Chain A
Amino acid sequence: MRKVFTGSLLILVSGFILFILSCTQGSCFEETKSSIKATFYNDITHKPAAPDTLSLHGLNNDSLIYDRSLKVQPAIFQLKASDLSSSFVITINGISDTLTAYYSNYPHFISKECGYTFYQHLDTIMPYTHFHIIKSIEYTNKTISNLNGENIKIFY
């Protein structure tokens, strides 16, 4: 029995060293940004159809999310966490339109390593339809999160 205890003492000491080492902080490997995942569909056939070219940027934000990008499917873009609406200028096959999303924000804890993000509950997303390039929008999942999965279908 003494031998068992001596052995266990060794495990105890080595276990404590492992325990201290395990306390070192890890790194964040998860996606931390919540994004709308929008899939493009042909309005006539109702089948998925990536646009030949896609440009996208926020209204009053010069930074381009997509710049005449080819065959983007799905388009992924983020909403303003400090506001209840975000507008985007979208150009599909050279024809521009404006999309405005209305939503509510709520905090979400991802992990100890990654911290927090904001999720959004999508209320509506509406095209301004200057040139009627976007015919309609269908909602698949109104929770905008850092997870994969389609949120809206854009028919054009």
Chain B
Amino acid sequence: MGRTLRYSISILFLFIGSSFLAYAQDTIPITLKIKIGIEASGPMIYYADKKILNTEGYISVDLNEKRSATIAAGFLRYKFSQYNYQYLNNGSYIKAGMDFNFLKPDKAQGKYFIGVGLRYGLSRFSSETPSFEITNYWGTTTSSLPVRNYWGHFLELAPGVRAEVLKNFTLGWSINIRKLIYTSTGNDLKPVYFPGYGDGSKSITAGLSYYIVWNIPYRKIKAIIRKDVPEEKDDTKDTGTGTQNTNSNSQQGSTIRQ
């Protein structure tokens, strides 16, 4: 039993050691930032269609070169009418979560983002149906639903791109895919549209967001870049002339052979 344990520990140390041998570490300086952004498409849509006003702002804090903690808040004023009903919704929402940058630190340089955001959203809104009518065999019946306040909960997945176009000034966009978790409206009176989520009759909604962001640098860190150690060619395996000249160069994450 003791011998088995010794062997196991030896193998573990060998494995860890080989990991250190395979890679050398280098660092680059990265500036962590506090980002304050606004969602730009909401006011633009309102300019074209006065029935929907959606405004959203967010604050994001870089935790390291890969992850940022984000909190967003917004407001919605929504009116909808068609031949058989009218609908009004007013309310606000908050979303909190994390952004994950898939770019390597040397590519991202603290300026670029290609990644995904994961958020939990909470919405508080008032919903009213001033009139609706139904027509069946017995004729047309008109009714209404009074103003009532409700809650909505949802999850959001937001893959997107952001880039610093001017010093400390970033533009970007994301696709927002939202999954409805719960609304206090019940199953019969699902909201036509509610803040932060969209069409409340659908269990999954999608949208696009466009961001204008102001960055405030707050701290500098050294991000570790993993570099491959040049591979050594095993000459004993060479066949043919036996005088093959191999130069190996290493760059971040890849080996170039000439």
A residues whose Cβ falls under 8 Å from a Cβ of B: 1, 4-5, 8-9, 11-12, 15-16, 18-20, 23, 25, 32-34, 58, 61, 63, 65, 77-82, 86, 106-112, 115-119
Contacts and interface: CB of A to CB of B under 8 A. Distances in A.
B192 A107 contact: no
Contacts, number: 95
A116 B132 contact: yes
Contacts of B141: 81-82, 118
Contacts of A11: 161, 173
Contacts of B143: 107, 118
A129 to B, nearest CB: 24
A18 to B, nearest CB: 8
Label chain A's interface by main secondary structure: mixed
B134 A112 contact: no
A23 B188 CA distance: 25
Given A5-B165, A16-B208, A112 B192 contact: yes
Q: Top 4 closest A-B pairs, CB basis?
A: A5-B163, A8-B161, A115-B85, A81-B141
Given A65-B137, A119-B188, A15 B107 contact: no
A23 B52 CA distance: 11
Given A1-B107, A86-B138, A115-B132, A15 B192 contact: no
Question: Which range holds the interface residue count of chain B?
Answer: 35 or more
Contacts of B173: 8, 11-12, 15
Contacts of B111: 1
B117 to A, nearest CB: 15
Interface stretch (B22-30, B41-49, B118-126, B243-251): B41-49
Interface in B67-95: 80, 82, 84-85
Given A16-B210, A61-B138, A112-B192, A1 B82 contact: no
Contacts of A116: 84-85, 129, 132, 134
A33 B135 CA distance: 8
B84 to A, nearest CB: 4
B201 interface: yes
B112 interface: yes
A112 B84 CA distance: 11
Given A8-B161, A107-B145, A119-B188, A58 B134 contact: no
Contacts of B207: 19
27 contacts: A1-B111, A1-B163, A4-B161, A4-B163, A5-B112, A5-B161, A5-B165, A8-B163, A15-B173, A15-B175, A16-B41, A16-B210, A19-B208, A20-B48, A33-B134, A58-B138, A63-B137, A81-B141, A82-B141, A107-B143, A109-B188, A112-B80, A112-B192, A115-B82, A116-B129, A116-B134, A118-B134
